C-alpha cells in the first residue's frame, strides 16, 4: 500500500500559519524538547526532591510552588500527540511497527534511535531548544540563535550522513 502525503510546500505553508497563530495569540512560537524537560524535572523531583533543590539546573523549574508540568509546551506537545494521531487515523497510517532499512535489523534500528534520542536530548538543553523551538521558531523571528542552531543541526547531519549511510540507503 502506498501512503499519500500532503504536498510539502502546502504542508510548509500550513505549518507556518500554525506557527504564526502561536505568535499572534501568545507571543511565542512552537517547541518540543521543553515539554520533555518538564517531564524530566517532574520525575527527578518526585524521585529525589532534595536533588532537584540542590541542582543548578532542575532548581530553576521547581520550588516556590512552581509546577513544571503546568507549562505551555507540555500542553502544546499533548496537542501534537493528538494531532499526529488524528492525521494518522484519517490517512490509515496507525500501525505499531519499527520502521527500518532492510540493511539493518529492527533491534539495531531501535538502539540507534535510542542513541540519537540521548544526543538530541542533551543537545537541545545545551542549545536552548530543538529543531522546532530554537531553529524553526528562532528563524521566524529572525533570531541569530535560530539561524546558528539551524545551520549547526543540518550542517552536522549532512557532514555525518556518509558515515551512517548503511542505515538509510
Q: What number of other Cβ atoms are within 10 A of residue 17's Cβ?
A: 11
- Least separation in angstroms between CB 153 and other proteins: 4
Which is closer to other proteins, CB of 66 or CB of 128? 128
Q: What angle do CA 77, 106, 90 make, to 5 degrees?
A: 45
Which is closer to other proteins, CB of 63 or CB of 91? 91
Residue 104 C-beta-side C-alpha neighbours within 13 Å: 18
Burial of 84 (0-12, 13-18, 19+ CB in 10 A): exposed
C-alpha grid cell, residue 64: 516556590
Which is closer to other proteins, CB of 63 or CB of 98? 98
* Phi, psi (rounded to 5 degrees) for 79: -65, -40
Which is closer to other proteins, CB of 64 or CB of 81? 81
- Least separation in angstroms between CB 70 and other proteins: 8
- Least separation in angstroms between CB 103 and other proteins: 10
Eight-class DSSP state of 6: -
- Least separation in angstroms between CB 31 and other proteins: 8
Amino acid at each position: 500500500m502506498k501512503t499519500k502525503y500532503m504536498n510539502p510546500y502546502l504542508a510548509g505553508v500550513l505549518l507556518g500559519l500554525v506557527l504564526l497563530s502561536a505568535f499572534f495569540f501568545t507571543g511565542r512560537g512552537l517547541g518540543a524538547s521543553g515539554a520533555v524537560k518538564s517531564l524530566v524535572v517532574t520525575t527527578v523531583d518526585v524521585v529525589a526532591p532534595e536533588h532537584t533543590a540542590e541542582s543548578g539546573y532542575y532548581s530553576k523549574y521547581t520550588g516556590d510552588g512552581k509546577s513544571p508540568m503546568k507549562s505551555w509546551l507540555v500542553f502544546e506537545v499533548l496537542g501534537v500527540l493528538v494531532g499526529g494521531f488524528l492525521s494518522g487515523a484519517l490517512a490509515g497510517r496507525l500501525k505499531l511497527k519499527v520502521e527500518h532499512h532492510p540493511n539493518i535489523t529492527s533491534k539495531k534500528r531501535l538502539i540507534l534511535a535510542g542513541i540519537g534520542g540521548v544526543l538530541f536530548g542533551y543537545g537541545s538543553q545545551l542549545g536552548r531548544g530543538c529543531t522546532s523551538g530554537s531553529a524553526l521558531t528562532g528563524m521566524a523571528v529572525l533570531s541569530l540563535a535560530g539561524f546558528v542552531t539551524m545551520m549547526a543541526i543540518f550542517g552536522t547531519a549532512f557532514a555525518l550522513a556518509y558515515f551512517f549511510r548503511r542505515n538509510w540507503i
